Structure 1
Amino acid sequence: MSESMRQSSAWVGATTKAFWQNPAFSVTMSPLPSLFAAWGEVTERTFEKVATKPSWGIDSVVSNDSDYPVSKKIELELPFCNLIHFTAERDRPVKRRVLLVAPMSGHYATLCRKTVASLLPNCDVYVTEWKNAREVPMSAGKFDVEDYTKYVVKMLKHLGENIHVIAVCQPVPLTLVATAMMAEDKEAAQPRTLTLIGGPVDPDANPTEVTDFGNRVTMGQLERSVITSVGFAFAGVGRKVYPGAVQLSSFIAMNPETHAKAFSDQISAVARGEASDLDKHNKFYDEYLAVMDMPAEFYLSTVDRVFKQREVARNVFKVDGKLVDISKITKTAVKIVEGGRDDISAPGQCLAALDLMPDLTDDMKESYLAPNAGHYGIFSGSAWRNDIRPAVLNFIDKHNDTPAEVKAKAAANSAEKPKAKIAAPASKADAAKTTKKA
C-alpha cells in the first residue's frame, strides 16, 4: 500500500509540474502557476527519492594539496551486507586501516558518506554497507542482533590484525559485544582501537524520547503495528520486515514542524528560481528520505534485548546461547564520543561502556564530549570535522603500533640514551665525597 501511495504521489507531483509549467500560463502575472509548478517539482522529487538508493559519490580526496582518485570495491560479500573498501590512490601508503561500522537503522550506509570522505586522506577505510532487506531472498535465512554481531566478528577476522574500528550510533553496543567475543577467543585480529560514537550502550543512563520508546510499547504491539511482509515486486518476497516507509513516517513525526517549514521554504525557493539540484535542502533530504526495509527479527530483537532488557548494559548478552563477557576486553583501546545536544543517544548512554571494562587500563580508555554537537554532527558535521576527527586520529596513532613494535621502539629509545658516567676521583677525599653523594 505504501509503495502504491508513493508512486501515485510522485505521479501527481510530476503531472502538476508539467501542467503548470505550460508556456500558456506565462501570460498571467499571477504567482500561482509558478507556485503550483514548484509544489509539483518538490513533491515528485521527494517521493522518487524514497525508493532511490543514494550513491556514495566519493570520486577523489584532497591530501597535502594533491587530488587523489578514490577506488571502491567489495571486499567481502555476505547475504545481508557488503564490506566495502575505499582507498585513495596516493603516492605513498598510509598506516591507518579503519573499519567503519555503519548503522542498520532505516537509512543506507551512505548516511556516513562525509565520515568516510573525511577519513580517506589519512586512512584506508572499510565500511559495512547493509542491504535493503526486501532485496534479500528468504533463502538467506533470518538476521537478528546475534547475526549482526557475528557479521562484525567475521569482518574483523577477514581484515586481520592492525585494524581500528569506528562504530556509529545503532551498532555501538553490538560492536562492543563483537570485540568482547574476539577478546574471549584470544583472536589475533582483535582491533587495536574501538571508537564508539553516540550509541545506546545503556539507554537508561540518560533516557531520551527515542531510547525510552521501548518502555512504552509491548513487543506484541510493535509486531502488529509496524511489521509486514515483502510483496511480490521484490527479491525478498515473503520476508518479514520493518518497512522503510513506516520508519520514515516515524522519523518525520519526531520533528514535524521543522520538516514542514523546510519543504515550504523549498517550494518558495523553486518558485523564485533560487533552488538548485544540489542546494542544502536537496543534499540533506535526498539522503534523509532514502530509506530501506529492516529485517523484522533484527528490529524486534534490538528493541527487546538492547533497550528493554538492557542486556549489553547489564553485561548479560548471549550469542548462540553463550554469555559474552565484555570485561574480557583488555587489549583494545576504547574511546567514547558523545554530543552534548544529542537527542537520540544522550550523553552517558555511550559512556556507560567504560564501566563494563574494569580490567582495561586507564591509558587505554578515553572519552570526548562535543558540547554543542547533535546526533548527526558528532560523525558528519562541523564538530566531527574540526574537533572529533582529529581527536580520533590521534587516538588511533597512539595505539597503532603492534606490541612487538612498541617493544622495539622502547629498546631503541633505551639504547639511544647515554649512560651516566662517574669521573674517577682525583683524591681519596674526592672519592669519599663521590661515594657519599652516590
Structure 2
Amino acid sequence: MLYQIYETQRAFMEPFSELAQTAAKLFSNPSNLAGQTPLAQRVAAGYDLIHRLGKDYVKPEFGIRTVDVDGVDVAIHERIEIKKPFCELLRFKRFSDDTATLTKLKNQPPVLIVAPLSGHYATLLRDTVKTMLGDHKVYITDWKNARLVPLEDGEFHLDDYINYVQEFIRHLQSIYGNCHVVSVCQPTVPVLAAVSLMASRGEKTPLTMTMMGGPIDARKSPTSVNNLATTKGFDWFENNVIYRVPGNFPGSGRRVYPGFLQHTGFVAMNPDRHATSHYDYFKDLIKGDDASVEAHRKFYDEYNAVLDMDADYYLETIKTVFQDFNLVYGTWQVKGIDGKVEWVRPQDIKTTALLTVEGELDDISGSGQTAAAHGLCSGVSDKNSQHLEVPGAGHYGIFSGRRWRDIVYPKMRQFILDHAATPPKATTAKRTKPVAKKAVQTAVKTTLKTAVKSKTERAKAKA
C-alpha cells in the first residue's frame, strides 16, 4: 500500500515540478520582463531547486563516447553482450583507425567489473569504467530495476546473482582465455563465492580479483549500515521494507525493496551534508557559478536515481552477509543452475591473485571488512596478495574522483598487469618450434630414402 501511495503522490507532484522548471527558465532569461526584476536571480534559483527536489530521477546513461589512449581519442561503443532477466552484461567496445593504437588495444587485458546491486544503477561506476578503458577491455554488470521485470521472468535470489557472475566470467574466458574481476562494495561477497565455487569444482578461475570497500566480514568495525542489519530481526525487514510493485509497471505484483525507501535511507545517513549541498547549489545559481552548479547536478542526477531490488535477493543478502555471517563462518551453501547445492570454500582458490582496497574514512564498509578476504583465501600465496588503504578516502572515493584516479587505479592497473596472461604471440612461438623440428627430421629421412633408392636402381642397371 505504501508503494501505491508514493506513486500517487509522485504523479500528483510531477506537474508542479515541471511548472517550477518553467518558472526558473522564465526568471533566469534576461530577455523576459520577469528576468529583469531585482530579485529575478533568487526567484529563478528557488524555482530550480524546487524542480530538482520534486522531479523523478530516471536511470542515467554512461555517456562515455571517447577515451584518451596515449594522446589518441578512441571511440567507445556501448553494447549488450549478454541479456539476462535481471541483468545485462555490457561491453564498452573500443574503436580506432590508428594502427599502433589498435594493436595496443588488442593486447590489453579483459576486465569484468561487477557493479553493486544495492540501490543505485551501475552508472555510479562511470568514473571507474572511463578510467579503466584506457588500459583494459571493460565489461560491467548492469543490474535491472526489479519493478520492470515481469513476474513471468521468475524469481531472483542471491544464488542467482552468484550464478550470473560465474556465467559472465566463463563468457570472458571463452573469448580471451581468462580475465580479471573487479567488484565494488556489495558484490565483493557474491563474487568471492562465485570464484570459490569455480575453484572447488576445478574450473579455471580469474587471473585476479580486486575487491573494493565490501562487507566480506561485516563484524569488523561495524558502521551504521551493519548496526541496522544486526539490531533489527529478519522479520522486521520483511514486514517494514518489502512491498509489491504497483500495477503501472511491468513488474506489477513483484515483491521488492523499493528504491524510494532506499533513497530515504541514504539521505538519512547524512542529512546535514545533503541540506548544505542543496543550499550551496542555491547560492551558486545566484552567483552564476556554472561549474559548481553543473557538478551538483551531475552528482545528484546519479545519487537520486535508484532502483527497486527483488525482495528475495535483498532479504537473503541481509541474512547471509550481515546477520549469519555465513561466508566467514564457512556455513554458506549455494544452489547452482543445475540445482546442486555446494559449499562456499574460499580456501580452495589458489591460482587467482587478490587485491583488496579500503578507504580510511569509509562509513559504509568499515575498516578491515574487505581485508578479511585475505584470511579466508588462505590458498592464495603471500606474493599474490596485496592490500591498499587509501588515506582520507570515503566509500565513494575509492572508485570515483581524484583519489581513485591518482592512488587506487595506478595500483590496480599494475596489479592486473603483473598477473596478466602470457601474450598469444609467445604461446604461438613456442608451439611452432617442435613442429619445425619434426618437419626437418621428416625431410632428412625422405632425402636419405631417395638416395638409397637411387643407389639401388643404379646397381641394378649395371647388373
Candidates 324, 330, 342, aligned match of 1:315: 330
- 1:79 is aligned, of 85, 107, 112, to 85
2:238 pairs, out of 198, 223, 234, with 223
1:274 pairs, out of 289, 292, 298, with 289
Greater Rg by CA: 2
- Corresponding residue SS for 2:392: coil
User: Hey, what does 1:13 align to over in structure 2?
Assistant: 17
Instruction: Specify every segment of 5 or more residues in structure 1 that has no aligned partner in the other structure, as ranges.
Output: 411-438
**In structure 2, what is the equivalent of residue 327 of structure 1?**
347
Shift of 1:206: 1.4
1:363 aligns with 2:363: no
Residue 62 of structure 2 corresponds to 56
**Which secondary structure does the structure 2 equivalent of 1:336 belong to?**
strand
Identity of aligned residues (%): 37
Equivalence for 1:198: 213
Residues 241-266 of structure 1: CA deviation (Å, up to 9, x unaligned) = 11111111110011111111111221
Unmatched segments (≥5 aa) in structure 2: 97-101, 336-340, 431-463
* 2:167 is aligned with 1:154: yes
Query: C-alpha offsets along residues 228-251 of structure 1, whole Å, 9 cap, x if unaligned?
Result: 111111111100011111111110
Is 1:302 the counterpart of 2:314 in the alignment?
Answer: no
Tell me which amino acid in the other structure corresponds to 2:60.
P
**8 Å contact 2:20–2:50 — kept in the other structure?**
no
State the Cα deviation string for residues 60-88 of structure 1 (Å, max 9, x = none).
00011111101111111111000001122
RMSD after superposition:
2.3
Partner Cα distance (2:325, 2:423) in 1: 35
Which residue, out of 264, 273, 279, partners 1:249?
264
Residues 82, 89 of structure 2: 8 Å contact kept: yes
The answer to whether the 8 A contact 2:281-2:293 is kept is: no
CA distance in 1, matches of 2:358, 2:223: 14
Given that 2:284 and 2:293 are in contact with CA atoms closer than 8 Å, whether structure 1 keeps it comes out as no
Shift, 1:217, TM fit: 0.8
> CA offset at residue 404 of structure 1?
10
Give how far 1:403 is off. Answer: 11
Deviation at 1:175, TM superposition (A): 0.3
Taking the aligned partners of 1:218 and 1:225, their CA distance within structure 2 comes to 11
Q: How big is each residue's C-alpha offset from its partner over 1:145-192, in whole Å with a ceiling of 9 and x where there is no partner?
A: 11111110111111113200000000001100000011011113x100
For 2:130 and 2:34, how far apart are their aligned partners in 1? 45
Relative to the length of structure 2, the TM-score reads: 0.83
| Aligned-pair CA distance for 1:110 | 0.3
Distance 1:118 1:278 in 2: 24
Matched position secondary structure for 1:84: strand
* Matching residue's letter, 2:111: V
Does 1:140 find its partner at 2:153? yes
Question: Which structure is higher in helix share?
Answer: 2
> Which of 42, 50, 59 is equivalent to 1:43?
50
Q: What is residue 182 of structure 1 aligned with on the other side?
A: 198
3-state SS of the aligned residue for 2:137?
strand
TM-score by length of 1: 0.88
SS in structure 1 of the partner of residue 328 of structure 2? coil
Does the aligned pair in 1 maintain the 2:77–2:93 contact within 8 Å? Answer: yes
Deviation at 1:280, TM superposition (A): 1.1
Q: For residue 66 of structure 1, what is the aligned residue in structure 2?
A: 72
Q: Give the distance between the partners of 1:142 and 1:264, measured in 2 at CA.
A: 43
Provide the secondary structure at the position in 1 that maps to 2:7. helix
What's the CA shift for 1:274?
3.4
